Every structure is written in C-alpha cells, then in structure tokens.
Structure 1
C-alpha cells in the first residue's frame, strides 16, 4: 500500500507544503549566498584594482622615489601594495612583512589587470586576500604594481548569513506546517459539517439541506452540489410516493370488483354466475394491462427499457393503425402518409402510436386525422381530433402518470391514465418526443417526432392517402 493512501488529506497537504517550501528555500538560500559572495568578491577586487590604478597613476606622474615615500607615509591597514621590477624583485612595499617576496606570481601586460585569491601573503599577513596585479612602463623600465585587500571578513559574513538561513529554515518550515495544518483543518471542518448533515438525512428528513458557506470556493460548490442532489432525491421520492399511491388507487378498483364478483358467483345461479365470470374476465384483463403498464414505466425509470434498434417503416405502422381504427370505431378516420423510415423497436413504437390514436378516438366528436411527414432530420406524426382541446397550462402535465384533467378530457372507459406517460417514455427512449401543439383548425393535436434513419430517403412516391 502506498504511503499516501495511509495518511489523511490534512497530513498529505502539510507534507506536500513542507517539501515544496523546503525545496524553494534551499534554492533561494543557495542563490542568495552565491549572489552575496559574488558581490563581495567583486567589491574586494574593485577596491584592489582601484588601489593599484592609483599607484600606477602616481608612479607615472611622480616617479618611483616619490611613490615610495607616498606609500610609506599613507600605508592603509586594509590593503597591501608592492612595486616590482621586471624580474619580480620587490622594489617598494607598504609593509616590511611583505617586502621579501611578491604577493602574486601573475605578470600581466602593461595596462592589463589580473587577480588571484590567496590565503598567505607573508609570515605576518595570514588570511584570505584578493591580489590584483597590473604593469606600467616608464621610459624603458617595466614595473609591476600589486595591490591586495583582505577578503576574510567577507567570507566570514557569508558563512554567518548561511548559518542564519539554515538555522531559520526549520523554524519557517514549522510555521508553514502549522499554518497549512490549521487552514486545511478549517476547510475540512466545513466538509465534516456537510458530511454530518448528509449522514443525518433519511427518508423522513429529505427536506433538510446543507448550509452553504459564503466563501464562493470549492467547499461552497460542494455544498451547493449536495443540495442539488438532495433536491433531486426529494423530487424522486415525492414522485415515487405519488406513483405508488396512484397505482394503489388504480389497482383497488379492479381488485374490489373481482373480490365482490367472486363472492357473488359462489352462491349465484348459473346464468348470473356466467355474467359475473364475464365481468371478472373483463376486470382481469384490465388488471393485466395496468400491471404491464406499471412494469413498463418501472423499467423506464430504471433505464432498463431495452429498446432494440432496427429499421421500422413508420408509414406502415400509421396505415395499419388507421385501418384498425376504421374497423373498431365509428369515428371518421382520414390519413395522409409519406414513406418514412426510423430506427427503433416496432412493437413499442406501435404501442406508443396506438395510445395516442385511441386517446384521440375517445375524445373526438366525429373525426380523427392522421398525418405522417418528415423534415431533413425528423419524422413527424400528427394525431388530430375534433374534440375539446387541451389548455396550454396542461399540455405538458397531461403526459404525467395518473393525471386527471377536466371532465372534457378526463380518463374514461376504464383507462389506467398511463397511456400518454408510456407514449412519451417510449418515444424519448427512441431519442424522440411527444407533445401537444397547436393545430391550424383549432383541433386537438398530438405531435410525435423521431429521428430519421441516416440514409437518404426516397420521397418520390409523394404522400399516400388511406381514404376516408
């Protein structure tokens, strides 16, 4: 098991923060020490070079004798000066301690400067020094001027700074660890509050919500998301309870009828028993259809409706339904049909279409009109009837389960109130939809839309009517 999986978010955050800050501090401290050392060395070299340049100028202007006296009179405690001949012999020295041997073996050309760092100039001048050497020619004589300044103090300064930085690093890392620990703990307290609130919510307290902090950060987004999820769960619970209540109400009527008919049939004469058995068969058929409808909607809710995809001639389905309605109903049926092909389950599409057509036939005054047409991407079916229309406010609600409208469009003839809900569920499973739309002649119009098969369709045959 990885180490990261054995420690919590809080400890991981502290560990990552400490590692990142430690690496950043080491890089920054190293860069700071390097720049400080480079700056101090450049300053020391510049001072030594300036002193050597000063001696060269004086040597050129006043000569060797005057320069010797000047060096002896103005000896600087923080610098050492030598003048050498062309063979490297010490002619002039600012101190007797450095009068025996040259400060540096470097011999640059006239006008050039060379520097070197050494830790031993003479027996009395131990320590770290920066030595700059240059040359000057007077008449025919070549002289070398060497100037040395101590750099030991600069190195000690750098070491002290480095030690302070290293000593302060653990303190700073400790402060970072404490700050991150407290900040992450504060953030996790909000998460823990959200977790605790959600843990207390059950089926009896679905209306409870998580407090959203006013921080507008990820924690607030998490709380908002949790509330949105709880809204969906509450809405789903309400829908489920309403569905169970309505289903129980619908099942109660046929069950009560069967129970009563069975009790009466047990003591009835043969003629009355036959009538009661016929009633029982009718209620059993009604009960079977209701159960099948409920199972269809339950599978749809569980996303297990199982829609096989095959090419379906939608024009044949509409024509068959028009023919069936003419044979089983007294209303006038007209149809205008184009050849249209879609992908889907032919049996379920036939059921969805039949539910709309039977609904139109129940509420039509005299006529039901079926129209099948298409656009570049969709097949469109219009089911019109000349019965009472549906108010605009109820046009979407009518597809809900067990919805009752006013008496003009109410359920009748033993209908379960699930036909339109099944129709919309089936069509949406086919990537289509069903809706109530306006009709040009103010009839009641249901509209079905389904995506076409991607292959190009042949519309050369034109509309095909089914007669009256």
Structure 2
C-alpha cells in the first residue's frame, strides 16, 4: 500500500479487507455446510422411508400406495420397475439401486436415492425411494443471497466503525503534531499532554522531555558560541593592536618584540582552536580511537615534561594502570591536568596513580591556593575560569578542566576537585580499567 496514504486510511483499508475475507470464507463455508447437512438429512429420511415401506410391502405382498410430489417410490426387480406407489411418476426410469447414498438428476431437480431389499414370491426385489432436493437448493440459494447482501453491509459497517475509532484515537496524536509544528524553531514551548496514561500520553511526555533537552542544548550552544567568539577575539585583537602600533610608530617597538607577541598570541589561539575542535568531536560522539592505554606512561611523560620546565615533581606514587579510552582525548586530558597543577602550584606538583581492581584512580596535587568548595563543580564547565586564573599569562581559555571532564566521561569515568595534602587542589580522575 502506498506510503502516501494516511495511517487512518491504511488501518481502515487493511481492517476492512481482513474482515471482508473472513466473512466471505465464513459465508461460503456456512452455505456449503448447510447444503451438505440438509442433503444428508434428506438421504437419511429416504433410507428410513425405504426400510419402512419394504417392511410394509413384505407384509402386504404388494407396494402400498403413496402420493407426494417430492417422493418417488419404485418396486424394482432385476433393474426393471415393477410398480410405483404414485402413478404420477410411472414414466420415471429405474432409479439406481445402491447400498450407498446416491444423488441423481431427474425432472430438472436433484434427488436423494436410497433402497432396501424385499422378498416377494421367492424373488428378491428392491424398494427404491427418491426424495427431492429442491427444498435444499432453495434453502442454500436463499442463504447465499442473504449472506451475499449481508457480508458487504457488515464490511461497510466495520469500515465506518474503524474509520471513526482510528480517527478518535489519532486525534491526540494530530494535536501533538500540531503543537510541535507551532513550536517551530523555539524549543521553549511544550506539548499539552492528553489525560490518562496511555501510549499517546507517554508520547506527549517524551516529546516534552525531548523539547526540554533541545532547549538546554540550545542555551548551552548559544553560550558556547558566545564564549568561544569572545575568547577567539582576544588573541586576534592583541595581534592586530601590536601590528598597528608597529606600523604607525615603528620606533616604539622592535621586530623581535612584535614577533614575540605574535608568537605568544598565535600559540594561545592555536591551543584554543585545538581545544574547541576536540570538544566538538566529543560532542558528536566521534571518539573512534578507543584502545587500551598505559595510563602510567602518559602520567610519567607529563612528569618528565614538568621537570624540564623547572617544576618540582613527585611521581613516586605512580603505579601501572591500563584503561580503554580515546588516546588523543586522554593524552590531552592528562596534559591539561599537569598544566593546571603547574599553573597554580607554588613550588611542587605530585602525581599518583593506582589500580584498585575496577578503576584506575589518577590524582594530581599541587601546593597552590586551592579551589573554593562552591566552585569545584562549576570550573568543569566550558569557558569557566576563577578570578585568579583570568590573567593572560596564567589562565587559559577555560577549556582545560572541561576537556578533562569530557575525557573522563567519554571513558566511562568521572573527574572531581578536592583538597590536596600539599595544601592546594587535588584533581582526581576515576576511570574503569
């Protein structure tokens, strides 16, 4: 059936077709069964009648008279008609003699024929009785005509009833569709759920939950675009500012000074764009590079890098641990954790890693000022930076901790901030092994 037809039309058509086929088969079966049963009844009556007349003929020595328009009674010997009970059927040829029921065509009608033996004058003869089946044919014909008119009528009634019931059932769905269409591009609207707890009401609730998620995603996206635009504008503006000063006042700056500013701001811009692309890939669930990672190798590598930068690093607590994660995302997360600790540490950073049997627990401690309790969840959001991290030389774009949280979530784990035994902040990541 064409998909261009509405659901209401398809359901009504299919239901009506099925009902029509069932009724036609049932009507045909009923007519055939009626014909068979009534014919068998007439044949049984003919057998009983032949047996009764045979006894009477045996007792009287002759075939008793019997007048009826629908019964032929013959006395036969050697296939010849000796006499008939009703002279009106004297011209009827000999009827078949058989122990089994027979149906013959005589005088333009069907007849049920049965016979019974009788001995007269020492000779075996047969009383043959034929009963007309015209009444059977009339009854089955009437039943067929009645059912032939009734089946289409019942099918039309079923079609109308199905059309009405399906229409009433789909009316709330159409109302939901209309409400969603009116909402359009603004997901702040909601669908009015119908009363009850049926499938349609649950559909409306599901639509409202989806609209709520879309609204939240839209707000997050708008805030993300706004923050990203602001962060991207800052390094570009700094480069243009120094370039314009160099053009307008060549004596006020040197080539090396301008190159240093451009290199610093370009590096900052590159890091920001890289972070944005990484988060965009995570948002699209495109982490297809999941593999087993020796997390301790990544941590020790970052410890070596920080030592090269002049930071005092304690990595004695790092033990072996393997996790399944996106290697690029996890590598960036571990580096962000190390850079975050280096940025805020006064003098020392400590790494610890151990496998507790089900989870790999990574802790990065510093002896810096720490993070207030009320800000420990907020700083994992994108573009969120604390006041002391907003200077260009110390603070990033507010994506470092967000990437750490996304990396942990992508690997099936979690990340949180706590107090460090060194007096500063502790970043803890728990990842399933």
Tell me the TM-score range normalised by the shorter chain.
0.7 to 0.9
Is the aligned partner of 1:160 residue 2:142? yes
Q: Does 1:147 align with 2:118?
A: no
Which position in structure 1 is the counterpart of 2:76?
A: 84
Cα deviation per residue 1:45-75 (whole Å; 9 max; x = unaligned)?
1221221222234445xx134x74xx33x65
User: What is the aligned partner in structure 2 of residue 96 from structure 1?
Assistant: 87
Q: Per-residue displacement from partner, 1:334-369 (whole Å, max 9, x unpaired)?
A: 433345566666554332112112333455577543
Closer, same or farther in 2 for the Cα pair 1:84/1:346, shift >3 Å? Answer: closer
Give, in angstroms, the shift of residue 95 of structure 1: 1.1
Secondary structure class of the residue paired with 1:133: strand
- Deviation of 1:327 after TM superposition, in Å, equals 4.4
2:60 aligns with one of 61, 64, 70: 64
Name structure 1 gaps, 5 residues minimum. Answer: 109-113, 453-468
Contact 2:365-2:420 at 8 Å conserved across structures? no
Q: What is the TM-score normalised by the length of structure 2? A: 0.78
* The 10-residue stretch of structure 1 (76-85 or 156-165) with the greater mean CA deviation from structure 2: 76-85
Q: Give 1:372's aligned residue.
A: 353
Query: What secondary structure sits across from 1:4 in the alignment?
Result: coil
Quote the RMSD (CA, aligned, Å): 4.3
| CA deviation profile, 1:265-312 (whole Å, cap 9, x unmatched) | 86798489998997786556545533443343234334457x656775
Equivalents in 2 of 1:280, 1:432: separation in Å? 40
Q: Distance in 1 between matches of 2:420 and 2:249?
A: 58
1:320 maps to 2:293: no
* Aligned residue pair count: 429
1:297 to 240, 256, 279: 279
Separation in structure 2 between the aligned mates of residue 135 and residue 36 of structure 1, nearest angstrom? 31
For residues 198 and 94 of structure 2, the distance between their equivalents in structure 1, rounded to whole angstroms, comes to: 68
The corresponding residue for 2:157 is: 175
Q: How far did residue 42 of structure 1 move? A: 1.2
User: Is it true that 1:209 corresponds to 2:205 in the alignment?
Assistant: no
- For residues 411-450 of structure 1, the C-alpha deviation after alignment (integer angstroms, 9 at most, x for no partner) is 7732322101112334555x35441288997985434455
**CA apart distance, 1:333:** 2.2
- Residue in 2 that maps onto 1:360: 341
Contact kept? 1:90, 1:102, Cα under 8 Å: no
Asked if 1 retains the 8 angstrom alpha-carbon contact of 2:278 and 2:329, the reply is no
Cα gap change, 1:117/1:346 in structure 2, threshold over 3 Å: closer, same or farther? Answer: closer
How do 1:33-52 and structure 2 match up within 5 A? 33-52=31-50
**Unmatched 5+ residue regions in structure 2?**
none
How far apart, CA to CA, are the structure 1 residues paired with 2:292 and 2:91? Answer: 111
Contact (CA 8 Å) 2:12, 2:163: kept in 1 or not? yes
CA contact (8 A) 1:402 1:416 kept: yes
- The equivalent of 2:222 in structure 1 is 241
The yes-or-no answer on 1:421 pairing with 2:407 is no
The Cα of 1:399 is off from its aligned counterpart by: 2.3
User: Which SS does the other structure have where 2:190 is aligned?
Assistant: coil
User: Would you say the 8 A contact 2:353–2:363 is kept in 1?
Assistant: yes
d(CA) in 2 for partners of 1:149, 1:352: 101
* TM-score after normalising by structure 1: 0.73
- The alpha-carbon deviation at position 5 of structure 1 amounts to 4.7
Contact 1:190/1:219 (8 A) holds in 2: yes
Matched position secondary structure for 2:335? helix
Residues 1-28 of structure 1, C-alpha deviations (whole Å, 9 max, x = no match): xx72554444444443343333222211
